[in-house]
Structure 1
């Protein structure tokens, strides 16, 4: 990009900032003067007139001006952000689309024309434009204007975010974050800035294999479209930076794009795949994008406002001139425009947008994914559902009703596969009867009819949850139990649910994610069927406020999408008695929607009428804005109450009246402050079985402890904090099956926890110990650490703080420990042999934030790690070399290395590399990445 492009991009941002920074006079007056100066140059070039001498001189000075001006702009933004209550709200931008975003688009279009005029007039040979700021001349010490601008802004806002992690935003003084040296003309350390640059894994052989796999797996229009898109995206000289892949849900656009992404990413320095949730929240999307682009600093990113996120993303993409981004499943053009603000105006960044919205088809470089042909469908059925010769008629009928949708074809094929080989014309006639509804979710009725009776309510129940939402299996189990929809004995019910989900997953009706916590979700088209069928069978009703909703007299379950409430569509209940018959109420919201409409719908502002409710689930509700509805304490029959993912800073005292509660989930959103819990909240909840406490909490009356006495029936206790609770109360919980504890590193408390875990050997099925402030120099710490590593019934260990040296010899190492996460441990000797030989059942190991201070890690075959599935090394700033030898970690399925800026060499077995590459391609997730890529990356042959 020439100097003209740099100025052009900066000017576009200045004009955009004038629309959104409050107050606008915070911007320096020189910004307006600079814009006026450019207008004269632009008009002269458009009319074909040569630049006058004074204009050339002015043009030559613009680059220096834009650097100096950028410092002032960042100051103005920080000042405005810290003083303004609104901060930088992209939702506000959406409301001002005509005056803000549209003007920016028009400006960009005009500027692109300006650059074309410069090229055609030969002005690129002028002294001004010959000064490259792009990739033609790679700077060594001094930075070009664009990099100086972006890195200076990045550096400045990193300071802001780190300060904000130590103080509230009201305490931030932007002036305190300015370096003492002069801002103008400063030099930045290019090598230090380059450490921010994430890279890729390069392996020429595996890249070639991925292309072959792509050709083998591709069917239908993939074969034609794939090479066209590939050529477009690899064309560095092309000004087409964005391509849009459009297709109906279920047509395979995400699968196609994932293959394209994994084929292309080795040609880019920076690559990121960002899934866009259907419940679009711009801040969450920006956080995800920034997390993907560089060394992870989750605690800082979580505290950033939107202007900080946008500035960091912009900087990361400007520093790197070769970027590939995928934004998967964007819902609307408005959502896309909001995200686009964070992307450079002129850069070699390539963006792939996938969407189901046909509105994108009017944009340049949009490509539509259509259905598969009949031969393609028959091939798919043969590969995915093992259809054999003799099943052609059924295959053709599936093609007719699926409209070429690979999703529908696969689901139908999986369901009909057992009878396909022997079925006669009767099955074909049944399928043909669905042709009038072809291409609609109702065709899944033929699959639903073939489900076992116990699978049907489980599948339909999932239809209540919002589009694309992941549902934890444990949460689903507790909900179904509270509503008596699982009638197996307790010991068998969870196993029964897991078996049902696996059966539904085998039929491709449910997507199950096996991770740290198992979860499941429905594909959009399957959800549409469940939503319709659930309503028809009066299993539940969904209130989404998009149209007038009438809740029938027999409705027992209600799901309310509060994020779509605008006050103009009331909930119409058949009668007042209908409310009393509701057994379950699931309320889903977003924090952004609460800012736009903070009132509750009048029909649910007072909950006392839901007097027979057994389940109340709040999800994503901001109770600091909306407040807890009245009457919740009157729901005396309530069995299940959840505030998971909400903002709730104090538990209402009246909660103590809910004496029938069996499950209470208080795991609120991560950005919440310490929750205050009133005294005696749990005193009457003697039926409690499952208690999920928040990560941070304390008793309302200051120094007192949160009282948990009397909860003798507890089976699950999560986030038991030895600072907030009396550790001696653990002795009362004789029935615990799951226990997770948090300790600030006090040796006495830690030893009491270990003693309790060892004493619960017969019943405890899972236990975890999380130490937040461990210090090896504190009295008793070394002894407590040794006892923890010898605890025979602990399954997960998280330690944050200085360990320095691991215990030399363990009398009897913990046999059941499956997870070890160390953060800031400052271990000096390579710990891999210690962990690999000591903990035979270890499945996940993570070292982060200088957990290891040495320069080399060697994982030998002798260190075993026979069961290790996941290894994560993060922010180990002294690590220079990593070697994984043949025969080590044979079960490894996830390898993440990030933020290890001094890493010079990585060597791993070729077989492991290929296995991880395949897992990455199949899952589309982050299971294999090394960022930044070291200068030497070897794959050793067997």
Structure 2
């Protein structure tokens, strides 16, 4: 528990120091006691570092550590509450001055009272410190400065995800593929199962089978859904159907009843050969609830199941396959690849004394792939002369968490114990999130900061706390405790991660033992947890797991409340009337409403009392009005207003009061409460992230005063004054801007002045994303383009020449969109080796385009291609067949000749099918009016036989995706930003 208490105490020491500086002149007589309290807490912090090594078998020490954490929180509450009350009485204007004089005697009494309370805390902290010392706990003082910290920071190279080392599992794929495609006459099995213990590689094997070329050719449609321990029947059916018919996603999620879902799923399997993967089934009950949606007669569809429970598949009458543990040779090969990384290919295998140490470590892994990877990663972050210490630190006996577990899994506990002190609390925090969910890295970092788990001591010169948090996260990635999901963006914080279910189990088990956090969710199919069982100060409520949450009561001592909805739950859940009164949760520092719809557009009662909040998020919610009392949240660091994209939020002009705000996200559409006013932002001097700024609602001139920006995303209507101000802001912050995005609306270049501004924007050395709506005219007017651009969107540009020669040499360009007559020519040509980093390309409404040519070696990293409404385009280019990275092809509203070359006929591809690799899914917009009007009568009679497939599991051959139902997960930065609104 010291690993949890020490970061808390450290953070509160920093907070007390800042508060005493900010409020020192108002503390007066209490300032000496406050300084003494800081000193006592610093002494306790040093003792906690030694207590961490001695606590596990000593209940007395564990109790004292718990008390130290509670005392630190109590100190923060005391000083901060007083500071808030004093601060709320200060302000300009005659009325506030009169109020100050009227309340002066009351304030003097408050100051005296807080001094007495602080002195009492000093005594209690001093007594506890004496107990530690008397018990033999010694003070360990770390040297200050980031260079002496325990964390081994890695270089920031997040533009790729390490390819999975598929060692020793190939034979499983060879056995399973024939069973799935029924090539060996075993067609009577409609279910093929992979069964075995956690960490054996079942999901990895299933993914390899799912993406196998023979499998991709054999089936028409594909679905992947992860069920896990907590499930709901309707959620499973929706998830599978969203995969199989993504073009009907809205109907599936919003309209179809459970009966309709069963009928539709049954029908599509009757008419198409479908492969459906049900990953991680824990109980036979889950299968019992959905089995009637699967035809019993052989229609060519198959179900591939992964499970730890043999009884599940025995009762399914399935072909059963159980992967074996790795042999020693296979284990040794996997271990070396993970421990050495790229060095394995260049320097060869491990030899000498290091090999002997490694093999002793490997003996304890028992051939379990997950344990091997975790142990190897522990060594990868250690110096060679420290490998023996790693061996000696591994457990000789089973931990309490692993008691009775299989050999090898105990090393998960070792991986946790080997974490530096600062990282342990951050790692356990991952257990808050639902199993198999995508954890957004940027959000996670902000939560860590708000919780006080990130130390300013680890911050180097010019770094922000977000930079430090990103380094913490990257260390967890290096140790294989978190897996990155995305490979479409270069910025780590735009990526998502997931945690293996066994590792999450460890987080939850340890977190519960030390009362670090608690999860409230439905257990099984009937029992609902209504009250917290522990005194934990963090709680995550999984709203979508309850049919009725109106009687759920979290503990009143909470400092963090996450109201979460599964990614599979569509638009989320409605907030029940009178759920609980937030007035009783006044100590909250973190409040996250995740995809919650608020009735009558009002927030729950008592939210306005949460003046200690550091983090407040309404991301994905439906909230039409942001109340003015938000301006009272003076300690707020993160405010996320990215509500649903169909929700127009009205925002009171109070955000300027939040002077400690660091991260601000505006909605896609918003307005001020007087509908014509402009939001003030000029006082937000600490702001580091500003996204969604719209110059039609916010004062553009305020940007000039925001000199600490690291991330800026702005939308500007096409007037020169606002654009000039934005360019000035970018220039002021140019030395530290890390990501800059500008969306320009209605900007026709009808003058030299406007053309000059466009040239300046394209050549801007610190602009990453540029979206322009409006006529440019001559391609030559674009001029020199900065090599920093990662995304360019041209809408209605009416360029007279092919822009590809100008754009294809940009070294960092990942997303390119040409739409609505962006170019007027008949031909586009991507030269050999052009667009070396492009991941996503969209060509839409290019009405004159007839031919597109792709040279050899061009677009070699392209993963998503969308072509729509290019009415004169006849075919896809031959050069696409050399792009093996392509995973998603979207075709909509294209002419009949184009479609005919891609359509399936009698199980074989059209003339252009050979241009698309077998792992790429093709999505036809077969509900488009244009398509209906151009298709022949035969197509109207359902002879349209294109493969409409979607699979998050096939989005990357080396990045596992275990997130379940969302087949249309955005694969690009731009798509994701829109999707997550």
Give the TM-score, by structure 2 length.
0.61
- Which residue is 1:621 aligned to? 596
Summarize the Cα distance change of 1:743–1:244 in structure 2 as closer, same or farther, 3 Å threshold.
farther
Distance 1:214 1:545 in 2: 35
Distance 1:462 1:593 in 2: 23
- Which residue is 1:820 aligned to? 792
From 655, 667, 674, give the equivalent of 2:648: 674
2:689 counterpart of 1:716: yes
- Which residue is 2:565 aligned to? 589
- Which residue is 1:448 aligned to? 416
On the 8 A contact 2:374/2:411 being kept in 1, the answer is: no
SS of 1:486's partner is: coil
On the 8 A contact 1:751/1:787 being kept in 2, the answer is: no
On the 8 A contact 2:634/2:657 being kept in 1, the answer is: yes
On the 8 A contact 1:610/1:635 being kept in 2, the answer is: yes
- Which residue is 2:3 aligned to? none
2:431 counterpart of 1:463: yes
Once the two structures are superposed, residues 497-544 of structure 1 have per-residue CA deviations (whole angstroms, 9 ceiling, x without a partner) of 333333322221111244431222211110110111122233323333
- Which residue is 1:599 aligned to? 576
On the 8 A contact 2:195/2:322 being kept in 1, the answer is: yes
On the 8 A contact 2:379/2:387 being kept in 1, the answer is: no
Once the two structures are superposed, residues 662-689 of structure 1 have per-residue CA deviations (whole angstroms, 9 ceiling, x without a partner) of 211111234x421122x33324322222
Once the two structures are superposed, residues 249-290 of structure 1 have per-residue CA deviations (whole angstroms, 9 ceiling, x without a partner) of 433222111111221344147454545476768888788767
SS of 2:698's partner is: coil
- Which residue is 2:618 aligned to? 643
Once the two structures are superposed, residues 699-741 of structure 1 have per-residue CA deviations (whole angstroms, 9 ceiling, x without a partner) of 2333333443533432221101122323333233233222111
- Which residue is 1:125 aligned to? none
- Which residue is 2:770 aligned to? 797
On the 8 A contact 2:795/2:820 being kept in 1, the answer is: yes
Give the C-alpha shift of residue 693 in structure 1. 0.9
- Which residue is 2:24 aligned to? none
Give the C-alpha shift of residue 632 in structure 1. 1.4
Once the two structures are superposed, residues 220-264 of structure 1 have per-residue CA deviations (whole angstroms, 9 ceiling, x without a partner) of 8616632442442x5899475554444554332221111112213
From 523, 530, 544, give the equivalent of 1:563: 544
On the 8 A contact 2:238/2:261 being kept in 1, the answer is: no
Once the two structures are superposed, residues 301-337 of structure 1 have per-residue CA deviations (whole angstroms, 9 ceiling, x without a partner) of 7996347996998799589855545454467777668
2:848 counterpart of 1:896: no
- Which residue is 1:665 aligned to? 640
2:631 counterpart of 1:656: yes
Distance 1:854 1:294 in 2: 35
- Which residue is 1:884 aligned to? 854
Summarize the Cα distance change of 1:728–1:236 in structure 2 as closer, same or farther, 3 Å threshold.
farther
Distance 1:314 1:853 in 2: 44
2:726 counterpart of 1:753: yes
Give the C-alpha shift of residue 457 in structure 1. 2.1
On the 8 A contact 1:431/1:446 being kept in 2, the answer is: no
Q: How does 1:832-851 map to 2 (within 5 A)?
A: 832-837=804-809, 839-847=810-818
- Which residue is 1:38 aligned to? none
2:335 counterpart of 1:363: no
On the 8 A contact 1:608/1:632 being kept in 2, the answer is: yes
Give the C-alpha shift of residue 572 in structure 1. 7.6
On the 8 A contact 2:266/2:293 being kept in 1, the answer is: no
2:335 counterpart of 1:381: yes
Distance 2:736 2:754 in 1: 28
* Structure 2 gap ranges (5+): 1-162, 341-348, 893-900, 904-908, 918-981
Distance 1:706 1:633 in 2: 20
Summarize the Cα distance change of 1:748–1:297 in structure 2 as closer, same or farther, 3 Å threshold.
farther
Summarize the Cα distance change of 1:613–1:931 in structure 2 as closer, same or farther, 3 Å threshold.
farther
SS of 2:463's partner is: helix
- Which residue is 1:689 aligned to? 662
- Which residue is 1:414 aligned to? 377
Summarize the Cα distance change of 1:811–1:875 in structure 2 as closer, same or farther, 3 Å threshold.
closer
Summarize the Cα distance change of 1:770–1:324 in structure 2 as closer, same or farther, 3 Å threshold.
farther
Distance 1:841 1:392 in 2: 41
- Which residue is 2:474 aligned to? 502
2:304 counterpart of 1:352: yes
- Which residue is 2:179 aligned to? 229
Give the C-alpha shift of residue 566 in structure 1. 5.2
SS of 1:908's partner is: helix
Distance 1:778 1:538 in 2: 65
2:485 counterpart of 1:533: no
Distance 1:447 1:882 in 2: 52
- Which residue is 2:217 aligned to? 267
Give the C-alpha shift of residue 636 in structure 1. 1.4
Distance 1:438 1:282 in 2: 30
On the 8 A contact 1:600/1:626 being kept in 2, the answer is: no
- Which residue is 1:725 aligned to? 698
Summarize the Cα distance change of 1:809–1:644 in structure 2 as closer, same or farther, 3 Å threshold.
same
On the 8 A contact 2:326/2:368 being kept in 1, the answer is: no
* Structure 1 gap ranges (5+): 1-212
Give the C-alpha shift of residue 763 in structure 1. 4.2
**Larger deviation: 420-429 or 758-767?**
420-429
Summarize the Cα distance change of 1:905–1:473 in structure 2 as closer, same or farther, 3 Å threshold.
closer
Give the C-alpha shift of residue 215 in structure 1. 13
On the 8 A contact 1:289/1:313 being kept in 2, the answer is: no
Summarize the Cα distance change of 1:307–1:631 in structure 2 as closer, same or farther, 3 Å threshold.
closer
Give the C-alpha shift of residue 384 in structure 1. 3.8
Distance 1:592 1:291 in 2: 12
2:203 counterpart of 1:254: yes
Summarize the Cα distance change of 1:880–1:378 in structure 2 as closer, same or farther, 3 Å threshold.
farther
Distance 1:745 1:313 in 2: 47
Once the two structures are superposed, residues 643-679 of structure 1 have per-residue CA deviations (whole angstroms, 9 ceiling, x without a partner) of 1222222223332322221211111234x421122x3
Once the two structures are superposed, residues 396-431 of structure 1 have per-residue CA deviations (whole angstroms, 9 ceiling, x without a partner) of 887886565422332234335767997499749834
On the 8 A contact 2:436/2:498 being kept in 1, the answer is: yes
Q: How does 1:157-306 map to 2 (within 5 A)?
A: 217-219=167-169, 222=172, 225-232=175-182, 238=187, 243-263=192-212, 264-268=214-218, 270-276=220-226, 305-306=255-256
Summarize the Cα distance change of 1:631–1:254 in structure 2 as closer, same or farther, 3 Å threshold.
same
Give the C-alpha shift of residue 822 in structure 1. 4.0
- Which residue is 1:430 aligned to? 395
On the 8 A contact 2:199/2:502 being kept in 1, the answer is: yes
- Which residue is 2:105 aligned to? none
Give the C-alpha shift of residue 858 in structure 1. 1.8
2:451 counterpart of 1:483: yes
Summarize the Cα distance change of 1:424–1:288 in structure 2 as closer, same or farther, 3 Å threshold.
closer
2:811 counterpart of 1:858: no
- Which residue is 1:136 aligned to? none
On the 8 A contact 2:335/2:373 being kept in 1, the answer is: yes
Distance 2:801 2:290 in 1: 45
- Which residue is 2:911 aligned to? 935
From 679, 685, 703, give the equivalent of 2:676: 703
- Which residue is 2:521 aligned to? 544
From 538, 542, 556, give the equivalent of 1:579: 556
